[in-house]
């Protein structure tokens, strides 16, 4: 390699490193890096697949895809298997691979799905940091059927930079989540040690006022204060539970059962299946379940609640229903309350679904389904 070529490669790596260090939004970073890489290398198209623990790929970034791959919302890129994905999942893709025929392109040609612009092959590079793997970088150009060693070495260096940045971002996100949990716990402790104790003292003082009052009118006033203090104390305990769920370490069903009992509800639970639930999914189900049970307590005019929880290898299902007063709900109209909207938002944020069924005098059912 000449000195000029070496200087150019260092310059390319420097520019890409600056992009990778600028932000924490994975998709924006990968899109920017891919466009920069294509510009400085003269290559014309590329895409990045991120891979999960189950070997499923997700199109995280792409640039200048030919029409055959870009049509129908890039459906051909988002679905199905291909040779580079299979090699990655089989552990056979450990370094930059010099030109791999593209099955997605071949399928598009066979199905006459659109113009491929002369793209037939691509180079494939795994994204990794140490022993941790994150996905695949694919790049190519029309009619290009060979990559030189220097080109592959550059792609491998860029891929390693991307892998290192992905690891940094994930560690940062994990630290932020840990800090959020710590802040919740601190707030819960503060509420328990200050506001909770003040409300308890107010309740005791009101009770003493009832006993010491000389007239019925004063007794009723102190009694009303005592009832308000007890109600506020219950709300505060529920809030502390939401901030710091003591039972979640024993599983989502155990936590929701304990929460329901704390609210004064009689809950029947049924569990089917077994699988590991990702932390984000468990957190979302916990918050959704809390909101649903709180609604039962406040609005259903009954204390009997049923909870059904089903797990499988690819999804989790949570159903909470009561036989209370219910309300008229038309699925074609907007969801009527902020609490119900928040449940729907939490479920859809994890690509899940939210279903609400309710009729006057026929109870209410909340059904949440989230893919794993």
In the predicted model, what is the mean pLDDT of the chain?
81
Q: What is the DSSP string of 212-233?
A: H-SSHHHHHHHHHHHHHHHHHH
pLDDT tens by residue, 88-128 = 888 888 888 876 678 888 888 888 888 888 888 888 999 98
Predicted pLDDT at 177 = 64
> Where does the chain have alpha helices with state H?
3-20, 26-41, 67-78, 83-89, 103-110, 149-190, 196-212, 216-243, 252-263, 279-299, 338-349
Copy the structure tokens of residue 126.
């795994």
Q: Is the pTM of this model over 0.85?
A: no
Distance of alpha carbon 76 from alpha carbon 59, whole angstroms: 10
**SS3 of 322, please?**
strand
Cα atoms in the 13 Å half-sphere on the side-chain side of 79? 9
Copy the structure tokens of residue 253.
């069903």
More confident residue, 240 or 168: 168
Task: Please count the other Cβ atoms lying within 10 Å of the Cβ belonging to residue 249.
Answer: 8
Closest CA to 43 of 166, 152, 162: 152
**SS3 of 294, please?**
helix
Q: What is the DSSP string of 258-275?
A: HHHHHHT-EEEEEEE---
- The radius of gyration of the chain's CA atoms, rounded to the nearest angstrom, is 29
- N-term to C-term CA, the chain: 48
Copy the structure tokens of residue 287.
């918050």
pLDDT tens by residue, 252-294 = 888 888 888 888 899 999 888 766 777 778 888 888 998 899 8
Predicted pLDDT at 137 = 92
pLDDT tens by residue, 59-99 = 999 998 989 888 888 888 888 888 888 888 888 888 888 76
**SS3 of 349, please?**
helix
Closest CA to 106 of 78, 132, 76, 136: 76
Distance of alpha carbon 330 from alpha carbon 339, whole angstroms: 17
Predicted pLDDT at 136 = 92
Determine contact, residues 281/320, Cβ cutoff 8 Å: no
Distance of alpha carbon 358 from alpha carbon 362, whole angstroms: 7
248 band by pLDDT with thresholds 50, 70 and 90: low
More confident residue, 247 or 67: 67
Kindly give the pairing relationship between strand 304-311 and strand 315-322.
antiparallel
Alpha-carbon torsion angle 61, 65, 67, 71, nearest 10: -10
Copy the structure tokens of residue 46.
């590329």
Kindly give the pairing relationship between strand 304-311 and strand 266-272.
parallel
User: Looking up tokens 């989540």, which residue turns up?
Assistant: 177
Distance of alpha carbon 79 from alpha carbon 68, whole angstroms: 14
Beta bridge partners of 322: 305, 364
**SS3 of 113, please?**
coil
Beta bridge partners of 304: 266
């Amino acid at each position: 390699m000449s000195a000029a070529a070496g200087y150019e490669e260092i310059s390319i790596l420097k520019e890409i490193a600056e992009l990778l260090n600028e932000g924490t939004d994975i998709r924006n970073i990968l899109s920017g890096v891919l466009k920069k890489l294509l510009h400085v290398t003269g290559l014309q198209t590329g895409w990045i697949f991120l891979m999960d623990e189950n070997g499923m790929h997700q199109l995280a970034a792409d640039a200048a895809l030919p029409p055959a791959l870009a049509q129908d919302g890039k459906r051909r890129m988002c679905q199905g298997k291909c040779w580079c994905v299979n090699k990655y999942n089989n552990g056979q893709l450990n370094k930059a691979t010099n030109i791999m025929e593209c099955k997605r392109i071949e399928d598009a040609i066979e199905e006459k799905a659109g113009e491929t612009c002369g793209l037939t092959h691509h180079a494939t590079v795994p994204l990794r940091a140490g022993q941790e793997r994150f996905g695949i970088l694919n790049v190519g150009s029309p009619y290009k059927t060979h990559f030189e060693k220097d080109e592959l070495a550059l792609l491998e260096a860029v891929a390693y930079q991307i892998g290192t940045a992905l690891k940094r971002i994930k560690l940062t996100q994990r630290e932020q989540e840990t800090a959020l949990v710590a802040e919740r716990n601190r707030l819960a402790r503060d509420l328990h040690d200050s506001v909770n104790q003040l409300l308890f003292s107010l309740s005791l003082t009101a009770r003493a006022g009832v006993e010491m009052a000389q007239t019925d009118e004063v007794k009723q006033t102190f009694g009303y204060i005592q009832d308000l203090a007890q109600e506020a104390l219950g709300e505060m305990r529920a809030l502390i539970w939401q901030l710091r769920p003591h039972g979640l370490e024993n599983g989502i069903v155990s936590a929701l059962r304990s929460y329901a009992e704390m609210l004064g509800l009689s809950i029947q639970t049924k569990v089917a299946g077994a699988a590991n639930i990702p932390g984000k999914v468990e957190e979302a189900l916990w918050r959704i379940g809390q909101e649903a049970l709180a609604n039962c307590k406040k609005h259903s005019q009954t204390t009997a609640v049923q909870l059904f929880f089903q797990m499988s290898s690819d999804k989790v299902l949570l159903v909470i229903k009561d036989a209370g007063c219910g309300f008229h709900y038309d699925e074609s109209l907007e969801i009527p309350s902020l609490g119900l909207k928040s449940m729907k938002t939490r479920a859809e944020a994890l690509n899940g679904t939210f279903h609400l069924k309710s009729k006057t005098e026929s109870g209410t059912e909340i059904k949440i389904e989230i893919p794993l």
